[in-house]
Amino acid sequence: MDKILNIFLTIPAILIAFTFHEYAHAKVADMLGDNTPKFEGRLTLNPIAHIDPMGFLMILLFRFGWTKPVRTNQSAYKNYYKDDLKVSIAGICANLVVAIVFSILFGIFVRFAFNVLPESYYSVISLMISNIIAINISFAVFNLLPIPGLDGFKILEDLMPKKFNNIGEQLYKYQMLILLGIIFFGGFIISVPVNFLYDKAIKLASIVFTMF
């Protein structure tokens, strides 16, 4: 029963992580002069616009998944590489900001709700908030991996010499195979940074707790 409840409470966390990640990509691209995301309906906080069904299922089951990518037109940017880099890192930054905000809210919630709410309500809300923090951190770290289809690879393309693009084109042919390999076998790759950042988030919540 607890496992089913945890899966159920993970759904809001996934929706929040996916939505803010892709909205950030779309918003920054729009601010830099590319109106493609706006025309395609991606400049919205409606989760339905950003969800890839298979990616949603994967993150629900394995904590690693993907969204429907925001399509952009880099030719609309004034500075191709700098502006594309800004768009690429926007989603990761958004997830980290969401994790920080909910860490602060977690500290406030624990401070004022612990002796007020019934234990069952308190436990459910605490689990939901901690899931939001954990999923957003996991999604940010996962997207930093330099793998075709993820933001980390786009960041490398923007920072590395142009000849790297030739290598990238070859890797893109195997991006789904690589992604599935990471999802099923690569948990240990990101577990260390995810656990480190989650620990820092809980410490932030503890600091906020002591401020009231």
> Which active-site residues does the annotation give?
22
> What token pair was written down for 125?
């809300």
Cα distance between residue 176 and residue 44, in whole Å: 27
Helix intervals (H) in the chain? 2-31, 36-39, 53-62, 80-113, 119-143, 151-159, 164-172, 175-185, 187-210
Cα distance between residue 100 and residue 106, in whole Å: 10
Q: Is-contact 75 34, C-beta < 8 A?
A: no
Query: In angstroms, how far is CA 70 from the centroid of its own chain?
Result: 14
